[in-house]
Amino acid sequence: MRLTVLGSAGTYPVRGRPASGYLIEHEGTRVWCDAGPGTMTELPVAVSDIDAVFVSHRHPDHCLDVIIASHVLAYGPSPRFGVPLYGPASALEAIVEFVDGGRIDEVFQLNPLDESDRVTIGSLTLSVAVADHSVDTLASRWETEHRSLCYSGDTGPEGDWMRLAKDVDLFLCEASYQGEPGIHEYPHHLTASEAGAIARSAGAKKLMLTHIPPHLDPARSVTEAEKTFDRPVSLAVPGVSTTL
């Protein structure tokens, strides 16, 4: 399995650093996982060569480029229709409603996911769990026969979504905050130290921090996560691929 970071900026993109988005590949299957602004043009393959799209939730920094991709798929040089789009029902509805016409409902085949769903996408298996966020949000676990990846999406520390990170080869976890847990007004995100603690209790083999806002120093986030997680900690850097 290979993970390519397309963008990792938390909450909003900045030049050279798109918002959240990843390409997950295995044996010819390609899934675009979260489609934050700026990630579509960072895809190393044509949009029409993507097998499926997954959006964790409806916040714009995670799904806006799905709307742009619908134009490429419908009106670009290689039109393609019926591309599976997975995510919480409310996210899929919001995307379709925003476009309000066009060919988005032809371009994408909508596949709303529920808590207990486990679906096969080519050579990948996807499981989801409800995350601790202010809108319907799904954490996800991606598996092949021998490898596993968990992506937290946006989440706070509550709930049992972290079961998806059990013994994973790589835990791609949001770290929107720094400093002590509990001091932030909006509780539905994690500090870097919370990300590390969750990775440790889940038995993750490696932790990759993402969704760090552009105004924070990411090196500090790594240092804080290393205090609570005793295995390798890295940063999600746009353009960098990791083979699991």
Total Cβ atoms within 10 A of residue 120: 10
Report in angstroms how near the CB of residue 51 gets to Zn ion at its nearest. 25
| Residue 170 φ then ψ, to 5° | -145, 130
Q: Which is nearer to Zn ion, 51 or 93 (CB)?
A: 93
**Candidate list 58, 59, 206, 211; residue touching Zn ion; CB under 5 A:** 59
Residue 34 contacts Zn ion per CB under 5 A: no
Compute the distance between CA of residue 148 and CA of residue 146 in angstroms, rounded to an integer.
Answer: 7
Report in angstroms how near the CB of residue 223 gets to Zn ion at its nearest. 25
Q: Which is nearer to Zn ion, 12 or 123 (CB)?
A: 12
Q: Which is nearer to Zn ion, 30 or 59 (CB)?
A: 59
By CB under 5 A, how many residues form the interface with Zn ion?
A: 2
Total Cβ atoms within 10 A of residue 5: 23
Report in angstroms how near the CB of residue 9 gets to Zn ion at its nearest. 13
Q: Which stretch binds Zn ion (CB under 5 A): 29-37, 149-157, 166-174, 216-224?
A: 149-157
Q: Which is nearer to Zn ion, 64 or 83 (CB)?
A: 64
Q: Which is nearer to Zn ion, 137 or 228 (CB)?
A: 137
Residue 101 makes CB contacts below 8 A (sequence gap 6+) with none
The three state secondary structure string of 118-155 is EEEECCEEEEEEECCCCCCCEEEEEECCCCEEEECCCC
Q: Which is nearer to Zn ion, 10 or 30 (CB)?
A: 10
Please give the C-alpha separations between residue 52 and each of 47, 110, 123, 126, 170, in angstroms, as whole numbers: 10, 10, 12, 11, 21
Report in angstroms how near the CB of residue 58 gets to Zn ion at its nearest. 8
Q: Which is nearer to Zn ion, 13 or 107 (CB)?
A: 13
**Location of structure tokens 């769903």:** 117
Report in angstroms how near the CB of residue 74 gets to Zn ion at its nearest. 27
**Candidate list 154, 169, 194, 224; residue touching Zn ion; CB under 5 A:** 154
Report in angstroms how near the CB of residue 154 gets to Zn ion at its nearest. 3
Report in angstroms how near the CB of residue 26 gets to Zn ion at its nearest. 27
Strand order of the β-sheet with 21-26 is 108-112, 83-87, 52-54, 29-35, 21-26, 2-7, 241-243
Compute the distance between CA of residue 69 and CA of residue 18 in angstroms, rounded to an integer.
Answer: 15
Positions touching Zn ion (CB under 5 A) are 59, 154
